[in-house]
Amino acid sequence: MSFNSKEKSTIESEAISTIRGFRDGYAKFKERTAIDQCSKGMITGYGRSIANVALHFGRVPHEVGVDEINGYLYRIATHDGMSASYFKLAVYGLRYWFRLHGMEEKAIAMPSIKREFKLPVVLSKQECKELFKAPRSLKHRYLLAFAYAGGLRMNELRLLKISDVDVHRKQVHIYLGKGRKGRYVTLSNFLIERFEHYLSEVKPQKYLFEGLTPGEAMGSRSIQYVIKEALLKTTIRKEVSMHTLRHSFATHLLEDGIDIHSIQLLLGHSHINTTIIYLHVAQVKTRLAHSPLDSLYGKQLG
């Protein structure tokens, strides 16, 4: 494995040059994460955490006992002033490393991480209308409406190509969503009616939403700036980001009577548990349980 001058300054390269066996172990780690198609953020976070453990003990992590590892985790959680996210990365990174080296028992012995149950911020339908008409720019108005209409993540929105929009089939093709999985989302009739006008006025070349350079996708910071500026022109006082539009999309679909499994597919969630959180914020009218025999013969339901 070769390293350029920038890589030589990283914590990983320090562990490679000073800890016996770390070079081979880290090469195996990089190879496996590439095969698993892990995100760059995950690879970097896990890699740094594992390197820190190796440098702390002066040994590769799989040569360190579980009690020693737990002592290290206790220290960074209580005495070193490390953030909760740093602690989580250390635990997740060690689990991955142990399983990579065939040490399932050590992986299982790592402490469990409790997931925070935090309800998402959701805009009302009226607030969405107010937000979408706030920008003076046609591109910015269309961008905000498009993000909400498809429940798109930030990168899905900004990397959307004109060719991904099929107005005839009323679909938008998301080629690589989170986890590198593709899916289709429904294209709003409202957006279809304004699609050709948008193209003729804004004149994007490749991506539906482009930055200052023609043919290049709009940056995530620029998109966050769009919603931040739009919010200043509204009466909305909630903590709102682009992801809030995705939360609002899912919640409003539930309130419109769309079933949770269909919403899971539209959002591209791998697990239904991720989607179920919207049941806690949606204002859905409950119906009394009834026998299907009554509905079969047209009896009035309570």
Instruction: Give the span between the Cα atoms of 120 and 250, in whole angstroms.
Output: 11
Asked if 55 and 17 touch (Cβ cutoff 8 Å), the reply is no
Q: Is 118 a catalytic residue?
A: no
List, in sequence order, every beta strand (DSSP E) within the chain: 165-166, 171-174, 183-186
4-13 pLDDT, tens digit each: 333 435 899 9
List, in order of start, the domains of the chain with CATH numbers.
7-109 (1.10.150), 125-280 (1.10.443.10)
Q: How confident is the model at residue 278 (pLDDT cuts 50, 70, 90)?
A: confident
Q: What is the mean pLDDT of the chain?
A: 88
145-169 pLDDT, tens digit each: 999 999 999 999 999 999 999 999 9
Q: Is 278 a catalytic residue?
A: yes
**What does the pLDDT average to over 207-213?**
95
Q: Which residues pair with 210 in a beta bridge?
A: 217
Instruction: Give the span between the Cα atoms of 209 and 198, in whole angstroms.
Output: 10
**Residue among 32, 170, 173, 178 flagged as catalytic:** 178
Q: Phi-psi region for residue 153, left (φ > 0), alpha (ψ -120 to 50) or beta? A: beta
Asked if 250 and 151 touch (Cβ cutoff 8 Å), the reply is yes
Q: Could you tell me which residues come within 8 angstroms of residue 84 by beta carbon, excluding any fewer than 6 positions away?
A: none
State the pLDDT at residue 5. 36
Instruction: Give the span between the Cα atoms of 165 and 37, in whole angstroms.
Output: 26
**Residue among 48, 95, 106, 246 flagged as catalytic:** 246
Reduced to 3 states (helix: H, G, I; strand: E, B; else coil), residue 198 is: helix
Q: How confident is the model at residue 3 (pLDDT cuts 50, 70, 90)?
A: very low
Q: Is 158 a catalytic residue?
A: no
Checking if the pLDDT of 89 tops 70, the result is yes
For 248, the token pair is 């609002």
**Residue among 153, 158, 247, 252 flagged as catalytic:** 153
Q: Is 6 a catalytic residue?
A: no
Cα distance between the two ends of the chain = 70
State the pLDDT at residue 2. 38
